[in-house]
């Protein structure tokens, strides 16, 4: 059977219909992997879509296949690449890599002087980040803004983060510094 063609593009207002499906898949995938994830609300994803801060993958038939978004921190000094998720039906087809590339390009075009960061426990994301020029860093090298770290409260590993005074956790922090590239 031929694989469906998947289109990865900037999200548009009509894509808000996928918000509930996306947040459900984010949570269920984290549970299945036994890893932590910062829970998002449908409203927060809709806000990202409406503000031009999201990338979505859809099939030619309009089925949701993947998603990611960006957020700025410290008055635009930092941009986080967050929430990368691919529908189980469309995994292992290069969708995550294409989304990661486009969300990184969106970060760089909207905030060219900002440092772009990502935190993850996933080796695949670390490899994608490395290909884009990210380097592993300590948590002290990324945003210290409480709002970012408050997003970790719903993660199963939040107690680890708190016990380490937000200096490290099970996630690896990775940073792209435009002044070095």
Q: What is the pLDDT of residues 106-116, one digit of tens each?
A: 999 999 999 99
Q: How confident is the model at residue 29 (pLDDT cuts 50, 70, 90)?
A: confident
Mean pLDDT across the chain, nearest whole number?
A: 92
Q: What is the largest CA-CA distance in the chain?
A: 51
Q: Given this model, what pLDDT does residue 181 score?
A: 80
Cβ neighbours of residue 86 under 8 Å, at least 6 residues apart?
57, 65, 66, 95, 96, 99
Q: Which residue's entry shows tokens 């030619």?
A: 60
Write out the two tokens for 123: 């080796």
Helix residue spans in the chain (DSSP H): 19-33, 42-50, 95-110, 123-132, 146-150, 158-163
pLDDT in tens, 122-148: 899 999 999 999 999 999 999 999 999
Exposure on the CB side of residue 148, measured as CA atoms within 13 A:
22
Dist CA 122 CA 18 (whole Å): 24
pTM of the entire predicted model? 0.92
Q: Is residue 96 scored above 60 in pLDDT? A: yes
Q: Given this model, what pLDDT does residue 158 score?
A: 85
Q: At 144, is the secondary structure helix, strand, or coil?
A: coil
Q: How confident is the model at residue 1 (pLDDT cuts 50, 70, 90)?
A: very low
Compute the average pLDDT of residues 64-77: 97
Dist CA 25 CA 66 (whole Å): 10
């Amino acid at each position: 059977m031929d694989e469906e063609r998947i289109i990865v593009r900037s999200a548009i207002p009509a894509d808000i219909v996928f918000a509930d499906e996306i947040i459900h898949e984010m949570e269920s995938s984290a549970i299945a992997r036994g890893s932590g994830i910062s829970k998002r609300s449908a409203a927060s994803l809709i806000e990202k879509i409406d503000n031009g801060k999201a990338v979505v993958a859809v099939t030619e038939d309009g089925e949701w296949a993947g998603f990611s978004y960006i957020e700025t921190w410290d008055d635009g000094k930092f941009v986080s690449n967050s929430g990368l998720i691919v529908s189980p039906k469309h995994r292992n087809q290069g969708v995550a890599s294409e989304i990661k590339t486009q969300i990184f390009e969106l970060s760089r075009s909207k905030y060219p002087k900002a440092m772009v960061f990502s935190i993850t426990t996933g080796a695949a994301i670390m490899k994608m980040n490395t290909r884009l020029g990210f380097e592993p860093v300590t948590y002290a090298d990324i945003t210290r803004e409480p709002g970012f770290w408050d997003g970790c409260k719903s993660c199963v590993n939040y107690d680890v983060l708190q016990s380490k005074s937000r200096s490290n956790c099970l996630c690896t922090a990775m940073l792209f510094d435009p002044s070095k590239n």
